[in-house]
Amino acid sequence: MTNKKQIQTKKISFILALSVIIYAAIDTYLFLCHDINIMRITTPVILELVIAIILCGLLHKFFYKWLTKNPINFSFGEPSTPIVKSKNAIESMDATETLSIEQSMGLAEQECPPSQQSNQNTVNSDCPQDSHLNKYDSILVELKKKEIERQVEIMDAIREYVTVKTAPYLSKENIATLISNIESMAYDQPESYKPIRSNIDNPLRSPGLRHLAWNVGERLGVPLAKRAVFIKKSFPYELVNATLEYLKLNLRDNVSSQIPIDVPDKGDYRFHLDVDNDNRLQVCLIGVTAAKDLFGHTDVEGETIRISGRNFKIIGVLEEDGSSQRDSNDSVIYTPFTTAQRIMQNSTISSFYVSATNEGMLNMAESAVDSFLLEKTGDEDSYTITNQSDIADSVSDVTNSMTYMIGGIAGISLLVGGIGIMNIMLVSVTERTKEIGIRKAIGAKKKDILAQFMIESTVLSCMGGVIGIALSAATIFGMNQLMSADYTISAGISLIALAFSAILGIVFGLYPANKAANLKPIEALNL
């Protein structure tokens, strides 16, 4: 009889395991060869069951922890009055200290007249404690004088800069008008702006105009919105298609232009007239990760780094995007294109990136880039435009498919493991039938037998979980050694996996334990 039951349980387990393996193999073949994913239907069911078991276990765990820390008291009589303990401590000052304070206060009252003491806002030059305020007015006048002198120097530097940079593109009269508009921007008089038109043969383009507005506004301390209004009203013909919002957000783009970005040193207002884009400006933008690797911190604006034996000044730190990709902005350094051409001795542009101001402008930006490239190349097959949104959708589809597949395989593996545990416990119950009958005959209760086999199945499942965690740690260690990576095992995930193993042992050990507990002593002894 015993051998027959063992054979039956082994056959059932073998058939179930074989069915699961065949199902997984068929699903893998259909997905890899024919791109058919049947796990989209079956996997959610398996995952829901697994998640339900996990949630039940976590709920029980956390509720028990909360209940042990926050006991609930039920009282049906008179409510007890809470005992409130208060500590009334009054610190007294030493008599000598009090006396010294009173003496010092009296001395101060003697030095300063009472009439002046009553008015706290009045400055008394005769009092010793207010003697440092004697030069207040002179200091204020001196500061205002220095500020005016600095503003004059800034405007002189701006006039020189504008004349030098815009002379190839503007007439003398237009340069004078541009300087007048800059003075109106400094005094916040936008109604005084006059329109300017650059030379037809050699016009100023949008990047150069935006850089000009940013460079001048940076010296004057004018907000970006006012800089956008200034450049829009000053050059309405060149910026006819540019909105104020676009200009505000794109005054400082890392693009080559007729007028490059000129970042002032800290506390300075002078322009770097000796260096421009034609001379290959040796400046750069650096990512957050690159800054930390080179300097140990991210406050590196104004610092100098060496690239291919040349010194480059850092003019800004890119915003952190948190991506782990190789081409992430966190780990790159951007230089002007002409500078990169000289370093790499290559004038070929293999790719470039275009950023839309918002998601609604994405399709419009893609169409504009397509028209531009088609006009330049004349062949639409010579270039490829890749939308970042399309790439993200493709990656998301692949990721979801892999998630379904891995989740399905994990669920099936758990099911097979649970069936294996149940099979082992059924065989154990069958082989120990007489032992169970003897224990019941000498007084063992049903709950004792049930607890015994439940503990055995839980311990067996937890041992499998420990072995799995150890194998995972060994695998990760080997990958770190071979790939020079830095993968780690999360302690929290390991504890959750171990808890899930225990829950699996409890769930699949319940039936064999219940079967053992329900055996009758007489029938068990007769087997």
Q: What's 450's DSSP letter?
A: H
pLDDT for 121: 46
Strand, helix or coil for residue 286: strand
pTM, rounded to two decimals: 0.35
> Is beta strand 310-317 parallel, antiparallel or unpaired with respect to 283-286?
parallel
- The Cα 215–Cα 232 span in angstroms is 15
User: Is residue 317 a contact partner of residue 291, using CB atoms and an 8 Å limit?
Assistant: yes
Cα separation, 264 vs 270, whole angstroms: 7
pLDDT tens, position by position, for the chain (527 residues)? 445 655 665 666 667 667 767 777 777 677 667 767 666 666 666 666 667 766 766 666 565 555 455 554 434 444 444 433 444 433 444 444 444 444 444 444 444 444 444 444 444 444 555 566 777 888 888 888 888 888 888 888 899 889 888 888 888 899 999 999 999 999 899 899 999 988 887 788 888 899 899 889 988 889 999 999 999 999 998 898 889 988 888 888 766 677 888 888 777 788 876 544 444 567 888 988 888 888 888 888 888 888 877 788 888 888 887 665 555 677 888 887 777 776 666 656 777 777 777 777 777 888 888 888 888 777 877 788 887 777 777 778 888 888 888 878 877 888 888 888 888 888 888 888 888 888 888 888 888 888 888 898 899 888 988 998 888 888 888 888 887 777 788 888 888 888 888 898 888 888 888 888 888 877 767 65
Cα–Cα dist 228/279, whole Å: 28
CA distance 193 to 183: 10
The structure tokens listed for 290 are 């690159």
Query: Cα torsion at 506, 512, 517, 523 (round to 10°)?
Result: -170
pLDDT at residue 184, rounded to an integer = 92
Please tell me the predicted confidence (pLDDT) of residue 328.
65
Residue from 231, 288, 281, 287 nearest 261 by CA: 281
Distance, in Å, from the CA atom of 226 to the CA atom of 231, rounded to the nearest integer, reads: 9
pLDDT of the residue at 304 = 87
Per domain, the residue ranges of the chain are 143-249, 274-347, 392-526
Angle at 216 between CA 211 and CA 220, to 5 degrees: 145
**54/51 Cα distance (integer angstroms):** 5
- The pLDDT, as a whole number, for residue 477 is 86
Q: Are 508 and 422 in contact (CB under 8 A)?
A: yes
**232 contacts 242 by C-beta, under 8 angstroms:** yes
**Number of Cβ within a 10 Å radius of residue 310:** 13
